[in-house]
Amino acid sequence: MRTKKLFNNTVKIALPLLLGSAILYWMYRGFDFSSIKHVLLHDMNWTWMILSLPFGILAQAFRGWRWKQSLEPIGEHPRSSVCVNSIFLSYAVSLLIPRIGEFARCGVLNRYDKVAFPKAIGTVVTERAVDTIIVLLISATAFLMQIGVFTNFFSKTGTRIDDVFGMFSSTGWLVTAICGVASVILIYYVLRHLSFYKKVKEMFSGIWQGISSLRKVKNIPLFIFYSLAIWGSYFLHYYLTFFCFDATATLGLSCALVSFVVGSVAVIVPTPNGAGPWHFAVKTMLILYGVADNQALYFVLIVHTIQTLLVILLGIYAWIALSFTKTPVSLGRPTELTRPAE
């Protein structure tokens, strides 16, 4: 049993790393990495990159504040700082083991503010449902914004849809298929784990309370604001980087929105911070908008690397901050562990 568990854990860690590495290797084979230094020092506008970074921080902070609000209706009142730091840490941990961050942040709240783990998991499920709805709305908006653009493009150039699809090589289609299969495997594992929780009555009860907490949120407008602010910050964190490079600075809001949606969907594939699938998806969209292949590679490599470094720094900050955070017991507050039995 122990050997099987070790094997399964190894596979869960190794497969995402191998998948992401394989896609990155395929994309950057033959790429001159020495040219990156010149781009970073001479061809890139760092002002816009610096301006984009606060929105990456805000996106995670808004998520932490929204999570605190989701927990309050079910009798859990964690500190705002602990909620935000748990989010910072969860994103950093997910760089090592994809998707483990959801459990890590629930563990942080359980340790520092004695929030019931099943309830926390339940609210995470609720958050994901809300985020899915928002992504679908953004996707629909992007599609509607592009109907005129695509119609005009096809009518003026006489280009057919099958010609556009023909721009992709057989290897490109293979990568897309692999990402699709990986997504199916991820869904299978999630459903399998959820079915495990459902077998445990107490945990199922906690999860259901977390899911149903949305109906009891006191300040619905604030919850909606946090939800929109999360994705608005994500988008600005991405969109402002367009102005860092001459090749993308003039592409406009529509291209940014479409590539943002495609990139957001691509990160569903379980690789560290979407490395590989995100590069492939965003690069493909930029090429469709007329960006040269090499320039598109510069963009996705530099932007993703810097944004990943930000995630790491926030994770380190959260780890340090939490190490100086007092637990409820040390603060002298009654908890489920210290409160006398009635």
Closest to 237 in 3D by CA, of 27, 69, 61, 20: 61
Q: Kindly report the pTM of this predicted structure.
A: 0.75
Contact present, 275 and 20 (Cβ < 8 Å): yes
pLDDT for 17 beyond 70: no
Query: Amino acid letter at 179?
Result: C
Helix (H, G, I), strand (E, B) or coil at 94: coil
pLDDT for 87 beyond 90: yes
Q: Which two tokens stand for residue 136?
A: 């679908």
**Position 193 confidence tier, pLDDT thresholds 50, 70, 90:** low
- Helix, strand and coil content of the chain, in percent to the nearest 5, comes to 80, 0, 20
- Cβ atoms within 10 A of the Cβ of 206, count? 21
pLDDT for 195 beyond 80: no
Distance between alpha carbon 212 and the CA centroid of its chain, in Å?
24
Question: What pLDDT, on a 0 to 100 scale, did the predictor assign at position 330?
Answer: 47
> Where is pLDDT greater, at 244 or 198?
244
Say how far apart CA 136 and CA 311 lie, in whole Å.
25
Say how far apart CA 221 and CA 299 lie, in whole Å.
37
- The pLDDT > 90 percentage for the chain reads 33
Helix boundaries (H) for 115-251: 117-157, 161-165, 170-198, 201-212, 220-239, 246-249
pLDDT for 319 beyond 90: yes
Contact present, 64 and 83 (Cβ < 8 Å): yes
CA distances from 276 to 16, 44, 270, 301, 309 (A): 10, 23, 10, 10, 16
pLDDT for 303 beyond 90: yes
Say how far apart CA 284 and CA 172 lie, in whole Å.
9
